[in-house]
Amino acid sequence: MKKQEFLNEISARLNGLPDEEIRRSIDYFSEMIDDRMEDGMSEEEAVEAAGSVDDAVNEILKDVPLTKVIKAKASTRRKLRAWEIVLLIIGSPIWFPLLLCFVILIWVIYIIIWAIVVCFWAVVLAFLVGGAGAVGIGILSLPRIPTALPALAIAAGLVLMGISLLLIGPMIKLSKVTGKLAKVIVLWIKSWFIGGKKNA
């Protein structure tokens, strides 16, 4: 691939980001390729060494806040024609709920992901607190209830606490996986707004 092709492709895939952001990225990769060519590589080799367009776009998007991405996309780049405005207003009962629904949907997905994490930890905490409570009550009622019941409560409580401790390790792993999943989803949402037309 030629340098200009590479840069054009990146810039097309970033379409929708603030111009300043796109220009910086292009300047950066352009400088890198030029430097490699000065170092003795051919143009094709230098572009090859710069890596894939996908990697470049992903890394650039990762560091741009989601709000900025959406804002950039929302501010239209050209003036609307009169009939377009009329159409927009007439159509607003349709597109507005749809847009709202879409935004809410993204939010819900995000909230659900974190709700799952909260759930995991609630379970661990519940086991721990429940277990500690059972042990406590067992000890307190030991002198008053002369049956095996308090001992049973203590034993059950200890088992519960044990389970909660055993759960901590897997829970940490699950939380990490969920965190990664959330990141992937955010990146995926960003790439929805940005570019759109993937150059083959």
Is residue 123 a contact partner of residue 135, using CB atoms and an 8 Å limit?
A: no
Tokens representing 98? 């749809």
Residue 195: count other Cβ atoms within 10 Å of its Cβ: 20
Least distance in Å: CB of 117 to other proteins?
Answer: 18
- Residue 63 makes contact with other proteins by CB under 8 A: yes
Closest CB to other proteins among residues 6, 127: 6
Among 14, 22, 56, 124, binds other proteins (CB under 8 A): 56
In angstroms, how far is CA 33 from the centroid of its own chain? 31
Among 1, 51, 85, 86, binds other proteins (CB under 8 A): 51
Closest CA to 199 of 45, 25, 24, 57: 57
- Residue 71 makes contact with other proteins by CB under 8 A: no
Give the span between the Cα atoms of 116 and 175, in whole angstroms. Answer: 9
- Which residues have C-beta within 8 Å of that of residue 139, sequence separation ≥ 6? 150, 154
Closest CA to 193 of 69, 24, 47: 69
Closest CA to 193 of 17, 24, 19: 17
Least distance in Å: CB of 144 to other proteins?
Answer: 50
Selected range binding other proteins among 43-51, 82-90, 136-144, 157-165, rule: CB under 8 A: 43-51
- Residue 19 makes contact with other proteins by CB under 8 A: no
- Residue 58 makes contact with other proteins by CB under 8 A: yes
Among 1, 4, 23, 27, binds other proteins (CB under 8 A): 27
Tokens representing 65? 């806040």
Question: Please, which of residues 113-152 interact with other proteins by CB under 8 A?
Answer: none
Amino acid identity, residue 61?
Answer: L
- Residue 28 makes contact with other proteins by CB under 8 A: yes
Among 7, 13, 16, 25, binds other proteins (CB under 8 A): 25
Question: If binding means CB under 8 A, how many residues of this protein chain bind other proteins?
Answer: 22
Give residues in contact with other proteins (CB under 8 A). 25, 27-29, 31-32, 34-36, 38-39, 49-52, 55-56, 58-60, 62-63
